Amino acid sequence: MHIVVVGSGIAGLSAAVSAAQAGGRVTLVERASEGEHGGNTRYTEAYLRMKSMDEVADDFVDHFMANAGGYTDPSIVQEMVRAHDDWSPLARSQSTVDPDVLSAFVEHAGPTLRWLEKTGLKFDFLPTAFITTTTTRLLPVGGGWAMVETLTGAAREAGVDFRFETTARNLVIDAGRVVGLDTSRGSIACDAVILACGGFEGNPEMLAQYVGADAINLRPVARGGHYNKGEGIRMALAIGAAPNGDFGSYHAEPIDPRSGVAEPAIFTFPYGVLVNKAGQRFTDEAPGTVDAHYENVTRRIYEQRDGLAWMIVDAGLDDVPNWQKGSRTDQPPVEAETLFELAGKIGVPADVLEETIGTFNAACGAGQFDPLRADGLSTKGLMPSKSNWARPIERGPFRAWPVISANVFTFGGLKADRHARVLNQDGLPIAGLYAAGETMGIYYRTYTGSTSVLRGAVFGRQAALHACGVAA
């Protein structure tokens, strides 16, 4: 059994190692060079929405189902409560979170982490960049870099043939079955192809097509995302694969555009105000804990002119214990002793900024400030309101950070079943074709945080085991 895996992030490496351990001959195709391979995984801290090594977080399923798709036809929803084999082709190919796939995700999350543990990875509940949280997160010690390096070593030890600086081009089909892969360095015949080559956050043409013209204001959150050009999705759609996931959206994270480090996130904005280039507030900066709401706030930033906002704070930021952990940029803030001076430095109208901050200050109510939980300290009679941590911004020095929306990964991808088999528009598996990681579409509206790396590991492994005929 010859398996070709496309991509070397967590999904591709999990697939490659699993297939090799199951007795398959494995070729891994990767467009990046060795040492820069691993896609987004190499650069992420790889948060995992787990409450233990064996159980997903309590809100795992509820969050997915609250963001399961658009307004699905109720008659199709009713089909989805029946046994999966009884679904119609319409239900099987519907663009939504398939409850059977979600069930497999939950079922295999713990066993997949235990398998990763056997490769040499260690996991622990380590500190995160979030100052306030609502859910539990497990992390691999050493983050995504450790995952890539450990699994690359395990893959080599298992005999995986790595082909770096090689780009997948087209799927080879014979009698309706995928039997090979055309690449930039020739064609490879095989028994199955596992597409684990990311989304399209590194492809400006696809971003403009699906996300819209304002996507020019986005950038991948880390260097690995630039390698994700969307070929895996396109080549599968070209042979009749069903799309899944929210093609017009992506996982948004607030970052400092001046920084070139991986994931220069700015998670401290709930303690200040956000103003656009006109000097005006435009959103509730603190609807609740930052881990649960940063994505929605970041989307509002993306909607502003040039996709940019300024986070403005005063000396009160220093009242937040260890606030620096929520500011991942390597660039210093813009500082000034007065708001007028600050406005000149950041290029917003000084009179508008002073009026914006003055109006905000007047709306701040009395109450006890508690930086480590949603304290209900809100504005009164202000639109948009600020729901928590609303304190007047009046004590110099004043500090400002520019914030844009990063594109961590795109949501649109391929529809797959619980075994990661890619489905066609009739909801039937395309023989010999699998998808995992970002290439497998599963997210809609608001990202279920800290599940993407886990998704890659779980379904990369499931794809490999199924392709090799091993029950999981």
pLDDT tens-place string over residues 402-418: 999 999 999 999 999 99
Digit-coded pLDDT (tens) for 255-280: 999 999 999 999 999 999 999 999 99
> What is the residue range of 280's domain?
253-406
385 phi, psi to nearest 5 deg: -75, 170
- Residue 234 within any structural domain of the chain: yes
Residues 386 and 439 in one domain: no
pLDDT band at 77 (very low <50, low <70, confident <90, very high): confident
Evaluate if residue 471 carries a pLDDT over 80.
no
Residue 274 in any domain: the answer is yes
Where among 362, 379, 406 does a domain terminate? 406
Specify the pLDDT at position 177.
97
**Average pLDDT score, the chain:** 96
pLDDT computed for residue 81 by the predictor: 86
SS3 assignment, position 308: strand
Q: Is the pLDDT of residue 220 over 70?
A: yes
Q: Whose CA is closest to 200, among 187, 185, 189, 211?
A: 211
User: Are residues 338 and 200 both part of a single domain?
Assistant: no
Instruction: Provide the CATH number for the domain around residue 418.
Output: 3.50.50.60
User: What's the pLDDT at 80?
Assistant: 87
Q: Average pLDDT of 27-35?
A: 97
What are the tens digits of pLDDT across the range 165-215?
999 999 999 999 999 999 999 999 999 999 999 999 999 999 999 999 999
Using the 8-state DSSP alphabet, how is residue 169 labeled?
E
Judge if 261 and 328 occupy the same domain: yes
Q: Which two tokens stand for residue 299?
A: 């989307």
In this structure, the answer to whether residues 167 and 268 fall within a common structural domain is no
Whether 106 and 137 map to the same domain: the answer is: yes
Tens digits of per-residue pLDDT, 113-143? 999 999 999 999 998 999 999 999 999 999 9
Q: Give residue 414's pLDDT.
A: 98
User: Which CATH number is 354's domain given?
Assistant: 3.90.700.10
Confidence at residue 16, expressed as pLDDT on a 0 to 100 scale: 98
Q: pLDDT at position 86, please? A: 87
**Nearest-angstrom CA–CA distance, 6 and 27:** 9
Domain assignment of residue 21, yes or no = yes
In a domain, 59, yes or no: yes
Please check the confidence at residue 472 and state whether its pLDDT lies above 70: no
pLDDT at position 404 is 98
The Cβ of residue 438 has, within 10 Å, a number of other Cβ atoms equal to 36
Q: How confident is the model at residue 366 (pLDDT cuts 50, 70, 90)?
A: confident
Q: Answer yes or no: is pLDDT of 425 > 70.
A: yes
Please indicate, yes or no, if residue 450 is contained in any of the structural domains.
yes
Q: Say if residues 236 and 414 touch (Cβ distance below 8 Å).
A: yes
Assess if residue 472 is contained within a domain.
no
Residues 330, 453: one domain?
no
In this structure, the answer to whether residues 108 and 200 fall within a common structural domain is yes
Out of 387, 406, 425, pick the residue that ends a domain: 406
Over the stretch 2-24, which tens digit does the pLDDT of each residue have?
999 999 999 999 999 999 999 99
Is residue 384 reached through a cis peptide bond, with omega within 30 degrees of 0 on the bond before it?
yes
Give me the pLDDT at residue 20, please. 98
Would you say 387 and 286 are in contact if contact means Cβ atoms under 8 Å apart? yes
Domain boundary among 366, 387, 406: 406
Please give the pLDDT value at position 83.
86
The CA angle 346-349-352, to the nearest 5 degrees, is 125
- C-alpha–C-alpha distance, residues 52 and 247, integer Å: 32
Residues 319 and 380 in one domain: yes
Same domain as 69, residue 139: yes
List, in order, residues 6 or more apart from 147 with CB less than 8 Å away: 10, 13, 38, 41, 46, 116, 121, 140, 453
Q: What mean pLDDT comes out for the span 419-431?
A: 97
Domain membership flag for residue 433: yes
Contact 195, 439 (CB under 8 A): yes
Compute the distance between CA of residue 77 and CA of residue 345 in angstroms, rounded to an integer. 54
Q: Are residues 18 and 149 in the same domain?
A: yes
pLDDT in tens, 285-303: 999 999 999 999 999 999 9
| pLDDT at 92 > cutoff 70 | yes
Q: What are phi and psi of 273, to 5 degrees?
A: -125, 155
- Domain count along the chain: 2
306 and 245 in a common domain: no
Q: Let me know whether 281 and 240 are in one domain.
A: no
Tell the burial category of 469 from Cβ atoms under 10 Å away from its Cβ (0-12, 13-18, 19+). Answer: exposed
* Cα–Cα distance, 225 to 364 (Å, whole number): 40
Residue 307 falls within a domain, yes or no? yes
Q: Per DSSP, what are the bridge partners of residue 312? A: 273, 400
CA 120 to chain CA centroid, nearest Å: 25
Task: Estimate the share of the chain in helix, then strand, then coil, as percent rounded to the nearest 5.
Answer: 35, 20, 45
